[in-house]
């Protein structure tokens, strides 16, 4: 479901040299005039314990040639390979940016379930031409980034702490590239967007002033876990090594083939994701509670936030489904509900009937109920979670929250199917340069939508307002959410419209369910 791409290699014009606090970095100027610095290291992985906190990146002994955009952390899904020393940045700089003419900074964390993805998947060509610095960040995945042990050497959330290390490097060094360290927006989609949401509640210092969260939330099902203190020993045993202690398991796993580690980690009893860390003396934690108790946050108060989702996030799943697929989905309601609520059988059956009746009425689970099932799964997987995040921001006292729904399907393979909408990741084609299996954005309408998306996102990065003024490209002002009864959102399509309370009946329905059952979440037990 997450797009994996290789960055297109631009035609180079000349080298460009920047002096940072870590030494000299040599990038290149493209034929379009913007500058690139690829594969710039911001931290080092401790190869004696690659599952723990990163180490400070030493100064460069020689000028660093920043020309490799395709470094990636170990993974074994859509692509296979990677290197442990993967903590790098790809930086795109507008042609007139320099230390005396600094530009706002957009920092991107990729999605991929915290298991796949890398910085080079997202080319910054279109965004950098909107007069902002673009930085895409590599961070560790799977067990390297998300083992959560009862052990101060591997306390949890190392992948998110990699992102902290990247933000600290950016804060300290981006000025030398022409970036403004006082104007840093962090952004991400899917689990990358969830990472951004987690940063709004972290125990680290304020390293950004804006946040963009696309199709995700800290409340997204499956994004947060309790942590499995036995995961390292279990993973070592899957690789043929019996360990009685974490220390022994970590020593063994540190010398194992990282790709094999990633492959076998898919067979662990519990999945690996952000967790509530156990506190240890001398260890700086990222988060030490669960999302249900994210109640106070100066970062939420101090940051402007843009959050939203696509209009039919899961449409492709059901549109592509054949008869056998629908046969396999007969228990979709009970299975999903049992994933998020620990209920006795009778209570689960009652709730399942209520939810099924709400979405399907008397319709069967079949192709004929494709649209209703899409609404259910989209609401379950993310739509309502994002509403819960917005509610939390307002309770905490966020200054400005901008809500959106991306609805454009002019380049979708499903556009001719009645009821189609924008699916998960579809907006990314209108923000980034996608090189593998790209959407062919060639029509005037498609190019206009790309210009519109990049302009709004860049405006938010620069001004904290995606539509600071009405133009031909942006014909409608985007109204932020307030603490009042209104819940405005921008419907992003050919015709821009501000609506109120997106899918309000469905969201109210889930509000009631969560109000009644939130204490039955397995995360609390």
Whether residue 492 is found in the same domain as residue 382: yes
Distances in whole angstroms, Cα of residue 426 to Cα of each of 9, 186, 408: 23, 20, 9
> DSSP character for 205?
P
Whether residue 386 is found in the same domain as residue 512: yes
Whether residue 411 is found in the same domain as residue 480: yes
| Number of helices followed by number of strands (H, E) in the chain | 16, 17
Q: In total, how many domains does the chain have?
A: 2
d(CA 266, CA 220): 20
Whether residue 274 is found in the same domain as residue 342: no
41 in a structural domain: yes
307 in a structural domain: no
E strands present in 190-261: 210-214
Q: How many CB atoms lie under 10 A from the CB of residue 107?
A: 28
What is the per-residue pLDDT across 4-60, written as a single tens digit (0 to 9) for each? Answer: 333 444 444 579 999 999 999 999 999 999 999 999 999 999 999 999 999 999 999
Whether residue 347 is found in the same domain as residue 471: yes
123 in a structural domain: yes
Whether residue 265 is found in the same domain as residue 347: no
User: What is the pLDDT at residue 512?
Assistant: 98
DSSP string for 153-177: TS-S-HHHHHHHHHHHHHHHHHHHH
Catalytic status, residue 190: yes
156: left (phi over 0), alpha (psi -120 to 50) or beta: left
Whether residue 274 is found in the same domain as residue 355: no
What is the distance of C-alpha 332 from the center of its chain? 25
103 in a structural domain: yes
Buried b (16+ CB within 10 A) or exposed e, 195-226: bbbbbbbbebeebbbbbbbbbbbbbbeebbbe
3-state secondary structure of 260: helix
247 in a structural domain: no
Whether residue 286 is found in the same domain as residue 384: no
Whether residue 369 is found in the same domain as residue 277: no
Residue 315 token pair? 């449409």
Residue 346 token pair? 């009778």
**HSE-up (13 A, CA, CB side) for residue 32:** 16
Task: Specify the CATH number for the domain of residue 444.
Answer: 3.40.50.1820
User: What is the pLDDT at residue 99?
Assistant: 87
Bridge partners (DSSP) listed for residue 275: 225
User: What is the pLDDT at residue 277?
Assistant: 96
d(CA 484, CA 487): 8
Give every residue of the chain whose pLDDT is below 50, as ranges. 1-12
E strands present in 169-281: 179-189, 210-214
What residue has token string 């499903």? 414
Buried b (16+ CB within 10 A) or exposed e, 310-332: bbbbbbbbbbebeeeebeebeeb
The length of the chain in residues reads: 525
User: What is the pLDDT at residue 27?
Assistant: 97
Listed in sequence order, the residues at least 6 apart from 447 whose beta carbon sits closer than 8 Å to its beta carbon are 441
Whether residue 393 is found in the same domain as residue 470: yes
User: What is the pLDDT at residue 1?
Assistant: 36
Range of the domain at 99: 12-228+255-294
Among the listed residues 54, 190, 202, 412, the single catalytic one is 190
Judge contact between 480 and 400, C-beta under 8 A: yes
**HSE-up (13 A, CA, CB side) for residue 248:** 10
d(CA 94, CA 35): 6
Instruction: Tell me which H or E stretch contains 193.
Output: helix 191-199
Whether residue 442 is found in the same domain as residue 388: yes
28 in a structural domain: yes
Whether residue 475 is found in the same domain as residue 332: yes
244 in a structural domain: no
Distances in whole angstroms, Cα of residue 258 to Cα of each of 82, 121, 141, 166: 8, 20, 11, 22
486 in a structural domain: yes
User: What is the pLDDT at residue 437?
Assistant: 63
């Amino acid at each position: 479901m997450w797009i994996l791409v290789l960055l297109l290699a631009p035609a180079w014009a000349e080298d460009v040299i920047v002096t940072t606090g870590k030494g000299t970095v040599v990038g290149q100027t493209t034929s379009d005039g913007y500058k690139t610095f690829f594969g710039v290291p911001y931290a080092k992985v401790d190869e004696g314990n690659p599952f723990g906190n990163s180490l400070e990146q030493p100064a460069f002994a020689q000028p660093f040639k920043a020309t490799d955009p395709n470094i990636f952390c170990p993974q074994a899904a859509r692509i296979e390979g990677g290197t442990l020393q993967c903590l790098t940045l790809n930086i795109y700089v507008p042609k007139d940016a320099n230390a005396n003419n600094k530009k706002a900074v957009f920092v991107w964390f990729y999605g991929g379930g915290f298991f796949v993805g890398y910085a080079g998947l997202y080319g910054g060509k279109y965004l950098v031409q909107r007069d902002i610095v673009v930085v895409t960040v590599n961070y560790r995945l799977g067990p390297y980034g998300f083992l959560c042990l009862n052990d101060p050497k591997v306390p949890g959330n190392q992948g998110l702490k990699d992102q902290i290390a990247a933000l600290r490097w950016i804060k300290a060094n981006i000025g030398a590239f022409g970036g403004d360290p006082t104007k840093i927006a962090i952004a991400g989609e899917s689990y990358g967007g969830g990472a951004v949401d987690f940063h709004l509640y972290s125990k680290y210092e304020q390293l950004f002033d804006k946040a963009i969260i696309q199709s995700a939330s800290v409340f997204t099902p499956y994004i947060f876990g309790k942590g499995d203190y036995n995961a390292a020993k279990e993973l070592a045993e899957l690789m043929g090594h019996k360990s009685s202690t974490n220390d022994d398991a970590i020593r063994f796993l540190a010398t194992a083939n990282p790709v094999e580690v990633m492959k076998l980690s898919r067979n662990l009893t519990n999945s690996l994701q952000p967790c509530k860390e156990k506190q240890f003396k001398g260890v700086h934690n990222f988060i030490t509670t669960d999302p249900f108790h994210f109640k106070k946050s100066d970062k939420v108060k101090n940051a402007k936030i843009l959050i939203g989702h696509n209009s039919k996030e899961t449409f492709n799943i059901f549109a592509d489904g054949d008869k056998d697929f629908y046969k396999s989905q007969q228990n979709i309601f009970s299975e999903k509900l049992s994933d998020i609520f620990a209920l006795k059988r009778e209570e689960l059956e009652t709730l399942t009937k209520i939810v099924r009746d709400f979405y399907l009425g008397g319709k069967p689970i079949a192709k004929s109920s494709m649209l209703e099932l899409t609404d259910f799964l989209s609401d379950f997987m993310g739509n309502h979670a994002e509403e819960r995040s917005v509610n939390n921001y307002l309770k905490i006292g966020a200054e400005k929250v901008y809500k959106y729904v991306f609805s454009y399907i002019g380049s979708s393979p499903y556009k001719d199917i009645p009821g189609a909408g924008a699916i998960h990741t579809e907006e990314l084609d209108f923000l980034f340069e996608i090189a593998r299996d790209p959407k062919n954005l060639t029509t005037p309408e498609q190019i206009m939508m790309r210009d519109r998306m990049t302009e709004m996102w860049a405006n938010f990065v620069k001004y904290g307002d995606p539509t600071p003024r009405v133009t031909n490209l942006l014909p409608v002002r985007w109204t932020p959410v307030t603490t009042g009864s209104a819940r405005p959102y921008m419907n992003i399509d050919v015709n821009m419209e501000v609506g109120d309370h997106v899918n309000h009946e469905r969201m109210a329905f889930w509000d009631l369910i969560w109000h009644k059952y939130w204490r039955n979440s397995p995360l609390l037990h």
